[in-house]
Amino acid sequence: MTELKEALRYYKEHILRILLIGFTIVLPVQFVLIVAANYFYLTYGLMDLLFLADLINGIFTLMAVSLISVPYIQMAKSSFLDEGVTVGKIFDSLMRYMFPVYVISILYAFGVAFGMFLFIIPGILFAVWFYAFPYAAVLEDETWFKGLKRAWEFGKSHFASLFLLLVISGLIEWLIRMISMLTTNLLTESYLIIVLVNTLTSILYLPVIYFIVTIKYLNWIGAGDNVWD
């Protein structure tokens, strides 16, 4: 509960920066994701291979979620450690860690997808154990396989809380998306508007999850003790 309160407090204090990142970084990534998803669903749908479209969309989504977490993690780090939150520092962090996070996100996404084929549970374990690799990069400057190792250590020590957080956040996001989609459908049949509303929902919702995990990670490495203890 303390982590949630801190995350929401930070969210309210920096809402303008959150929106700036959302529209300059998250929105373009989401747009590419939507275009790619539509292409694959159309292509494989005609061949009656929708499961392949689902697989590819899932892989792309995991990659996107990992990549767009970087600026939000940097925001939270700068604020919680009193380093000063600046737009320049946020974008500098993105440029610095974007490539290693992107490459590892490919391995992460394929690992989760492969695990899901092995009776689902291995995929869930892999997803939780290695979820924090972007946090290892930004918060500890541990990238590539060193970052994966740190993510593994963090994931093992926080497995239950991470699993619960991801499940609850997934359910809440699904509920929000369903409500927004149903509401939008009552007002318009435009696919573009429906997609835009769902994208804006992600922009407003995902930062809270990133902030909560950032707090957990900072406490785990001892960097947040002077802030929350």
Domain-embedded: residue 23: yes
Within a domain: 173: yes
Give mean pLDDT, residues 39-57.
81
Q: Which residues contact 98 (CB under 8 A, 6 or more apart)?
A: 67, 70
Q: Is residue 62 part of a domain?
A: yes
Q: Is pTM, for the whole model, over 0.75?
A: yes
Residue 191 lies in a domain: yes
Number of domains within the chain = 1
Domain range for 113 is 2-223
Tell whether 165 is covered by a domain: yes
Residue 123 domain flag = yes
Residue 9 predicted with pLDDT over 70? yes
pLDDT in tens, 175-198: 877 776 677 667 666 667 777 777
* 119 within some domain: yes
Residue 23 pLDDT more than 80? Answer: yes
Read off the pLDDT of each residue in 96-112 and give the average, rounded to a whole number.
92
pLDDT of 174 above 90 = no
In a domain, 229, yes or no: no
- Name the nearest CA neighbour of 105 among 18, 3, 33, 199: 33
Averaged pLDDT for residues 160-166? 89
Tell me the DSSP string of 129-149: HTTTHHHHHHHH---HHHHHH
pLDDT tens, residue by residue, 127-152:
999 999 999 999 998 889 899 999 99
CA–CA separation, 189 and 99 (whole Å): 38
